[in-house]
Structure formats: C-alpha cells, structure tokens
Amino acid sequence: MRDQQSLMALLKIHILSLPLLLVIGLPVMLCAQNNEPAGATELQLKVGIAKADITPDTNIKNWVTGEKYGKVRDALYVRALVMSQGSEKVVLLQWDLVDAGESSVYRVRTAIAEALGIAANHILVNASHNHSAPWAPVYDDQHRGKERDTWWAVRYMPPQNDDPSFKRWMDRLIDQSVEAALRAAQQLQPASLWIGRADVSAYLRNRRPRPVTHGIRESDLPDNFNYRHEDWNPNILSGDKTFGPVDRAMTLISFRDSSGQSIANIFHMACHAVSIYPFMESISADWPGETMRRMNNQMGGESLFLQGTAGDINPWRRGTDAVNKMAEGLTDYAQTVYDYSAELKPGPLKTHQTHVGLPLTDYGRERTGLAVMPSEIQVVAYGSLAIVTLPGEPMTELGVAIKRQSPYPQTLVLGYSNGNGVHYVGMPGEKARGGYETGRKTNIGTDRAGQIMVDAAVDLLVQSYNENRKL
C-alpha cells in the first residue's frame, strides 16, 4: 500500500511539472525551429533606397564661369538610403552637388525628419563634390556668422537666390530629397550587409606633391606640367618632388535580400569629381554619376556614392573619355568585390553626433565675424561598421589618420558632409607647404583645425564603439 501511494505521488509530481516544462521549453523549441538565436529579430536590419532628379534649369549660372549652364550632359540626382532596425531609423542622403552646406543641411534635415517622424540628427547628408553642378543653396543666415555664400559660389557672379529659376530649384531640391527619403522608407525590406574593397589607386593622384627641400640644382620638368600640358603624365614626377599620400581603397557595401540579390550598393572612395570639369561647361554628375549608372545596370539594385576626404585627390586623367574609362574600371572592380565580399555579423544600428569649434585665421574671422567655426561630426554605426563624417574639404591624411585610430574594423571617413566647416583643411604642417588648398580664402581654419577634427572624430568613434558593445 505504501509503495502504491509513493508511486501515485511520483506520478502526480511529473504530471504537474509537465505544463511548466512545456512553457519553459517553448521559446527554446521555437528558436530551434526558426534556426536563429534569441534576439535575432531585434537585430534584423531593413534597407530601402530611392532617388529623385534634382537637375536644375539650364538658365541658372555656372559658378565656374558666371555664365548660364546652357545644356545638360547627364542628370543630377539625390539618393536616399534608409536603414532601419527596430525603432531606430537612419537616412543616408547623397547629392550630386558641390557641397552640403550648413544651411541646406538644416533645411533638408528638418523636412525629412518631419516627413519620416525621426530625429533630424539621424540624417546624414553627403555631397559628391561634383564641380559640374551648383553649390547647395543658402536658405537662411546665421549658420556661418556673416558668411552667407562660399567664396567660390560668388567668385564670378552675385548670389542667385533672387533669380526665379534658381529659386524654383531651391524648393525642388528639398522637395525631391524628401520624396526620395519617403520612397526609400516605404521600400524597406530585410537585408544582410556585405563589405569588400579594391585598390583603385590607378585612378587617383595626389595633386599636392611634396617638394624636396634641398640638394636639387635644377629640374627639367616644364612649368605648369599638369593635366593641361600635352605631355603630362600623372605617374611621373621630377626629382624635386615626391608623391603625396593617397588612400587607395574603394570600399563597397552591398545590402542583399534573402535570396542574395542586390538591394543597394554603397561605394566609397576619396577623389574629386572633376574629370569633365573644366573641359565641359554643361551640367553633369561627372565620374561618380556615370559609375553609379553602370553599377546599377551591371550589378542590380540602386547604387550610392559617398565621397571621402578628397581635398587633395584628383582623378588620374581629365576629360570626357576619362569619365567613361574611370566609370568602367570602377564598376568592374565593384563587381569583383561584390562577388568576393564578406558578410558582417548583425549588430546594433546607432548614430552619434558631436560639434567642435574650429579656430579661424584672421581672414576667416573677418569674413565670418566668428572666432571659431561650429562644425559637426557624425557617426552612423552598424555592428563592426562605422561611417564618420567631416565637414568641408578635408585632405586625405585626415581620413587615413581617423581610420588608423578607429576601434571599428570597418571605418569609412566622409568629407563634404553636414556642412562646409573651414573649407579646405589639412593636418598640422600642411599650410607650410603652400598651394591653392592652403590659400587665404580657400582654407580659413588655423593649422590646428585638422588635428582638432581628427581627435573629435576618433573620440566619437570610441564613444560609439563602447556604447554599442554594451548593447
């Protein structure tokens, strides 16, 4: 009898425990059935991309000549790539324009933030620095002290804000940017992120060769031996100069759907968009535009170019033939990189932002009425990838220094983003070398400005990295 009671008690315990075991085991079973770890849904990245035409009326004036553009060689676009993860949403906006000045960035961020219901500081604005297009409009004052238009924009003509054609384009630029961002957000779909890179140094040259300081009696190199000289070869220097630094990497970030097909491709490198300029006075997106067109046709999806720290980097050749050859070569590299890319592990999508005051030269203080120029640095991070922005025209050594010190193994450093800063800016000692990029009007920051930007960018990357590791 006692054995029978013991047996019944034991059975009762097992029966009562069964529902509890089922409840406890259910999440484990579901995870096993879905073949994905707990939390994977929260880390699911979604991506959408869209573009819209922002080609201006040909009656507006070319800032290079002061005359009307007259013709369109190829269209200009705004491209918006939206990344989403849970409640986090980030917009990467790219313009086929010379710059992304503070005024236009403020205006477009405000409009997109309202349309998408996100914070304005979750929007990154990068310009390709395309010289065959207008400067971004100035919509209101107070962003750069007394300075309204950049020196270049009004060098050969007065401000165009009162011109009816230009005023219509000012409104259209913002409207089309919002339209692209909205359509990209509506097309969000799950994506994996892949990354690879190619050595594209054959298409790049540092236009600031380093002078040899002593020991040279004379040089046979002709005066003005540059792209306008009939014998010019970008790979040749005389003994009185050495080659300046070049970041040889083109990085390709591809977003792919569940079947492995391309949704969007970001390619990033540091090089002025000046192959057509100044050989053609028509509106054009230059080599970045032609490269994106070819990449779309060859690789599928929609492509987007993010300009790097290209202040002292030019294409290896100039002219319309150079545009096509460069675009063809970069597209072939991109296709090969795409085929051999590595997939990034999912991670948190986050954005961080800081502002620094860049000290100004005497001319800079006179022109702006400021002692320092407020300048933004932004980081957009996903897993082990970080995109960090610098304003203005940073020279290539700034990007190299930031990448070298970044805790993120995959770091892209952008120039021409979220403002004009102090325009051209190099590392300490660069001003002593002289040249156009260190001129009184082209470079209004002191010799310390570049190092301040590098330090602030690295600090923000470290902050972002440490915070993301805790998530």
- Amino acid identity of residue 82, one-letter, is V
Half-sphere exposure of 258 (CA within 13 A, CB side): 4
The pLDDT, as a whole number, for residue 20 is: 41
Give me the half-sphere count of Cα atoms (radius 13 Å) on the Cβ side of residue 465. 18
Choose among 343, 276, 266, 344: nearest CA to 301: 266
Say if CB 268 and CB 412 are below 8 A apart: yes
Strand bridging mode 192-199 / 249-256? antiparallel
> How many other CB atoms are there within 10 angstroms of residue 148's CB atom?
17
Q: How far is residue 7 from each of residues 10, 19, 276, measured CA to CA in Å?
A: 5, 20, 91
What separation in angstroms does the CA of 400 have from each of 83, 237, 426?
A: 26, 23, 12
pLDDT of residue 33: 44
Cis peptide before 278 (omega within 30 of 0): yes
Q: Looking at residues 130-134, what average pLDDT do you find?
A: 98
pLDDT value of position 227: 78
Interatomic CA distance for residues 207 and 393, integer angstroms: 14
| Rounded Cα–Cα distance for residues 223 and 227 (Å) | 12
Taking the alpha carbons of 307, 309, 312, 316 in that order, is the dihedral positive or negative? negative
163's tokens: 């011109």
- At residue 470, the pLDDT reads 83
How would residue 1 be classed by pLDDT, with cut points 50, 70 and 90?
very low
Tell me the C-alpha distance between 356 and 179, whole Å: 32
The residue with tokens 């640095």 is: 377
Pairing assessment for the beta strands 46-53 and 349-359 based on DSSP bridges: unpaired
The letter for the amino acid at 9 is A
Contact 282, 71 (CB under 8 A): yes
Q: Residue 40: what pLDDT?
A: 55
pLDDT digits (tens, 9 = 90+) for 413-471: 999 999 999 999 999 999 999 999 999 999 999 999 999 999 999 999 999 999 988 87
Hey, what amino acid is at 268? H
> Is 189 in a helix, a strand, or coil?
strand
Mean per-residue pLDDT of the chain: 91
- Token readout for 88 is 């986090």
Domain assignments of the chain as residue spans, ordered by start: 47-206+244-470
Measured between alpha carbons, how far is 378 from 369 in angstroms, rounded to an integer? 25
Q: Which helix (H) or strand (E) holds 444?
A: none
Lowest-confidence range among 107-116, 125-134, 218-227?
218-227
Of 37 and 370, the one with more pLDDT: 370
- Does 11 score more than 70 pLDDT? no
Type of residue at 213: T
pLDDT at position 279: 83
Q: Which percentage of the chain shows pLDDT scores above 90?
A: 80
pLDDT digits over 147-171, tens only?
Answer: 999 999 999 999 999 899 999 999 9
In this predicted structure, the answer to whether residue 4 has a pLDDT above a threshold of 80 is: no
Tally helices (H) and strands (E) across the chain. Answer: 8, 20
Q: What would you report as the CA-atom Rg of the chain, rounded to the nearest whole angstrom? A: 26
Q: What are phi and psi of 244, to 5 degrees?
A: -80, 170
Please report, for residues 48, 88, 104, 124, 177, the alpha-carbon distance to residue 111 in angstroms, rounded to integers and kept in the order given: 19, 18, 11, 13, 9
pLDDT digits (tens, 9 = 90+) for 310-325: 999 999 999 999 999 9
Q: Locate tokens 């006075």: which residue?
A: 281
- Hey, is 469 helix, strand or coil? helix
Residue 353 φ/ψ, nearest 5 degrees: -150, 145
Torsion angle defined by CA atoms of residues 18, 19, 20 and 23, in that order, rounded to the nearest 10 degrees: 120
Nearest CA-CA partner of 392 in 307, 285, 461, 463: 307
CA distances to 15, 18, 150, 397, 452 from 24, rounded to whole Å, are 15, 10, 65, 56, 54
Q: CB within 8 A of 52, min separation 6: which ones? A: 77, 78, 176, 177, 179, 180, 183
What pTM did the predictor assign?
0.90
Q: Could you tell me the two tokens for 437? A: 């990029």
Give Cα 19 distance to the centre of its chain: 55
**Residue 450 · residue 430 · CB < 8 Å:** yes
Helices (H), 286-441: 286-299, 320-339, 362-368, 396-405
